[in-house]
């Protein structure tokens, strides 16, 4: 929850690349493999992705973040306590068609 608050306090349009890099690092951390943490982090990440993609900001970093999220969600050791479908529900409707 602290990490979510931290990311949300960064003003929009400022430090976009750094913020996305930070989110990418979190996806690769043990924190993101825990279901309870992912329940909090995934909605934040998808909202950030949606916002930056709509504004066409840092598209390479956005693609990297989305790719890394999907990679982790498909790992069997990560989704053993939940289903992939449950995790994908956090994605905005347009992303669910991917």
* pLDDT for 94 beyond 80: no
Would you say 46 and 86 are in contact if contact means Cβ atoms under 8 Å apart?
no
* pLDDT for 83 beyond 80: no
* pLDDT at residue 45 in the model: 94
Q: Cβ contacts of residue 81 below 8 Å, gap of 6+?
A: 35
* pLDDT for 84 beyond 90: no
* pLDDT at residue 98 in the model: 44
Q: Cβ contacts of residue 41 below 8 Å, gap of 6+?
A: 3, 4, 26, 31, 32
Measure the CA–CA gap between 3 and 9, rounded to whole angstroms: 10
- Segment 36-55 mean pLDDT: 92
* pLDDT at residue 13 in the model: 82
Q: Where are the beta strands (DSSP E) in the chain?
A: none
* pLDDT at residue 78 in the model: 76
Of 2 and 67, the one with more pLDDT: 67
* pLDDT for 90 beyond 70: no
């Amino acid at each position: 929850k602290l990490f979510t608050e931290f990311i949300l306090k960064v003003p929009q349009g400022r430090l976009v690349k750094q913020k996305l890099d930070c989110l990418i690092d979190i996806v690769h951390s043990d924190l993101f493999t825990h279901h309870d943490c992912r329940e909090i982090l995934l909605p934040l990440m998808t909202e950030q992705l949606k916002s930056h993609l709509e504004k066409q900001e840092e598209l390479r970093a956005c693609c990297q973040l989305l790719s890394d999220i999907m990679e982790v969600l498909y790992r069997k050791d990560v989704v053993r306590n939940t289903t992939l479908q449950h995790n994908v529900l956090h994605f905005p409707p347009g992303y669910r068609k991917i």
